[in-house]
Chain A
Amino acid sequence: EDQVTQSPEALRLQEGESSSLNCSYTVSGLRGLFWYRQDPGKGPEFLFTLYSAGEEKEKERLKATLTKKESFLHITAPKPEDSATYLCAVQALETSGSRLTFGEGTQLTVNP
């Protein structure tokens, strides 16, 4: 069974204080790893897809990386508007259909 574990559950940063969020996964074969941002009461917003170990993608202050067992979401010099829950999800090669299995998320708060 595919599993995704995110850590920490919650993270408080000061504006400008860089940090990383972790996503560990167990999957029979990885088709893709996805990062989403979710604001309270809203739908998840797509950020990145990573397909193979060593791949990196960047968007503004966010950078996602992938290894064979985990992914990191690095946040450089965060701003208060980066406060949200960040969700990691995997899509397995052998999964029927193309469903995503999500982790519980990391709730990020950036204080001014």
Chain B
Amino acid sequence: DSGVTQTPKHLITATGQRVTLRCSPRSGDLSVYWYQQSLDQGLQFLIQYYNGEERAKGNILERFSAQQFPDLHSELNLSSLELGDSALYFCASSVRTGEKYFGPGTRLTVL
């Protein structure tokens, strides 16, 4: 158990819909990272927040957005969903620039 929690574990939805994925970092960790893992692309960095502020952006689509709240939990919002958005979405946390600990992931299926 890494100490990072993610909900829900599974999410099945239809194209065009909007979903919200939630992540709670390890106690004391200020940074939260979101990654997408699909079968054909491996782990792709989406976005990083540090203590409530956006720190870095990766290959995140405009239809996706995220935020980190004062209690340090983070949410990833995915809208206008397409079939290709089906993937595992992982959240990771770290104290600063060191080791990143990953949560168990949310499996999103878009039908």
B96 partner, pick from A34, A42, A45, A98, beta carbons under 8 A: A98
How far apart are the CA atoms of A95 and B56 in the complex, in Å?
9
Interface 0/1 of A35-59, CB less than 8 Å to B: 0100001111110010000000000
Hey, which chain A residues are within 8 Å of B92, CB to CB?
Answer: 43
Hey, which chain B residues are within 8 Å of A101, CB to CB?
Answer: 45
How far apart are the CA atoms of A34 and B31 in the complex, in Å?
17
A42-B104, A43-B104 as given contacts; A96 in contact with B99, CB under 8 Å = no
Most chain B C-beta atoms within 10 Å of own C-beta, residue among A95, A100, A105: A100
Cross-chain contact A99 with B43 (CB below 8 angstroms): no
How far apart are the CA atoms of A97 and B97 in the complex, in Å?
8
How far apart are the CA atoms of A18 and B101 in the complex, in Å?
28
Report, as a range, how many residues of chain B touch the other chain: 20 to 34
Hey, which chain B residues are within 8 Å of A99, CB to CB?
Answer: 33, 45, 48, 56, 58
Hey, which chain A residues are within 8 Å of B2, CB to CB?
Answer: 43, 45-46
Hey, which chain A residues are within 8 Å of B70, CB to CB?
Answer: none
How far apart are the CA atoms of A42 and B90 in the complex, in Å?
9
How far apart are the CA atoms of A100 and B45 in the complex, in Å?
7
How far apart are the CA atoms of A105 and B37 in the complex, in Å?
12
Report, as a range, how many residues of chain A touch the other chain: 20 to 34
A41-B107, A105-B42 as given contacts; A100 in contact with B100, CB under 8 Å = yes
Query: In chain B, residues 10-34, which have Cβ atoms closer than 8 Å to a Cβ of chain A?
Result: 31, 33
Hey, which chain A residues are within 8 Å of B98, CB to CB?
Answer: 32, 49
Cross-chain contact A46 with B100 (CB below 8 angstroms): yes
How far apart are the CA atoms of A99 and B42 in the complex, in Å?
15
A-B contact pairs, 13 of them (CB 8 A): A32-B98, A34-B100, A43-B4, A43-B90, A43-B92, A44-B90, A45-B102, A87-B43, A91-B97, A97-B55, A98-B48, A102-B42, A104-B42
Measuring CB to CB, which residues of chain B are less than 8 angstroms from any residue of chain A?
2, 4, 31, 33, 42-43, 45, 48, 50, 55-56, 58, 88, 90, 92, 94, 96-105, 107
